Amino acid sequence: MILKSYIIEQNIKSLESYQATIIYGENEGIKSDIKNQLKKNNNDAEIINLFQDEMINNKNILFNHVSNTSLFGNKKIIFLHEQTDKVLDQIIEILKIPDKEIKIYLFSNILEKKSKLRSLFEKDKKLATVACYMDTDRTLINYISTKLKEYRGVTPELINYIMLNSNLDRKVISSEISKIKLYFSEKTIEIKKVKDLLNIKYSLDFNKIRDASFLGDKLMVNKLLSEIDIQKEDSIFYVNSINSRTARLLEIKQINENMNNLEMTIDSFKTKIFWKDKPIYINQVNKWTKKKLRTIQKEVFNTELMIKKNSQIQSDLIIKDLLINICNKASNVA
């Protein structure tokens, strides 16, 4: 069964009628929003996260989680990350064990039409697929307006500022909106204070060190690490920025396998990459393999989990360690 992402965002409970759902595509922001809504709507359930590498290394791990009784009651939600056709046989076997108290949600990057996993979920009425395509300016405007609909002072200027400050990335926008809601508790937004709150200087500085890390430029990374001010309260913004760039590079690698022309691949994006950023993207793509990018995605996910679970953790140091690790992998040191 094929479902539209915007319909699911409006009514997340509609997924409950399906045994399993695969949520795929290049838009990490939409996938993150859907995942968060699922967690919120199932706060009484046991939540399990598994990655494809774990499933390949231990072919019984998914079966064991499905078979074992939940520690928190009867309800169990299983999130399967980075899924591809490599685990198709395991997924097919698990789907033979129907259990109304267990819901399985698979998350994948781009799945081509020839993907057997995608085909399985599209054709079976008990299963669902949700494609998450990149946002347009219009969808992001609607997204921000909806998230801030209960607030006064939401002007076109404010919306435009949030979009530009977040480089049109929904996941970053979501993080910025959370910051705005926390600050403007009386629900009246002042754009001057928003500009101070979001502080575009930090995002521009962080973009520099993020790009240098993905290029494997150790000298520049070391220089910027001594200059940049990593704000603990903005840790999730930094994580989202790294995750967004990782997903974008992986998308470019995948699309370019067919086009075999990096400039044409980049120009084909629905969300345009600024011309001045194209050389950076091209150089970064040439530094990375899909396998290494997926490794970084997993590390970013674990970093975000660690920061969210422990408010006392030195998140600024963790972010710096992550950047250094990315730089080392890009330069083939690690």
Give the pLDDT confidence score for residue 159 in this predicted structure: 92
Give the bridge partners for 220, in sequence order.
Answer: none
One-letter identity of residue 135? D
DSSP of 141-203:
HHHHHHHTTTSB---HHHHHHHHHHTTT-HHHHHHHHHHHHHH-TTSB--HHHHHHHH-HHHH
Three-class DSSP category at 135: coil
The domain limits of the chain are 2-131, 137-198, 201-330
Give the pLDDT confidence score for residue 204 in this predicted structure: 60
Give the pLDDT confidence score for residue 202 in this predicted structure: 52
One-letter identity of residue 112? E
The CATH number for 137-198, chosen from 1.10.8, 1.10.10, 1.25.40, 3.30.2010, is: 1.10.8
- Answering whether pTM is above 0.85, one says no
Three-class DSSP category at 128: strand
The C-alpha atoms of residue 7 and residue 233 are separated, in whole angstroms, by 33
Give the pLDDT confidence score for residue 270 in this predicted structure: 56
Give the pLDDT confidence score for residue 203 in this predicted structure: 62
pLDDT in tens, the chain (334 residues): 899 998 998 899 999 899 999 999 888 889 989 999 999 888 888 888 988 888 998 988 998 888 876 555 678 899 999 899 999 999 999 998 877 788 999 999 888 888 999 999 999 999 999 999 888 888 999 999 999 999 999 999 999 888 877 777 888 888 889 889 988 988 999 888 887 777 554 566 788 899 999 999 999 998 888 877 777 777 888 888 898 889 888 888 888 887 777 777 777 765 567 677 788 888 999 999 988 998 998 899 888 888 887 777 888 889 999 999 999 999 875 4
The CATH number for 201-330, chosen from 2.60.120.580, 1.20.272.10, 1.10.420.10, 2.102.10.10, is: 1.20.272.10
Give the pLDDT confidence score for residue 23 in this predicted structure: 95
CATH topology classification for 2-131:
Rossmann fold (3.40.50)
CB neighbours (10 Å) of residue 201?
A: 9
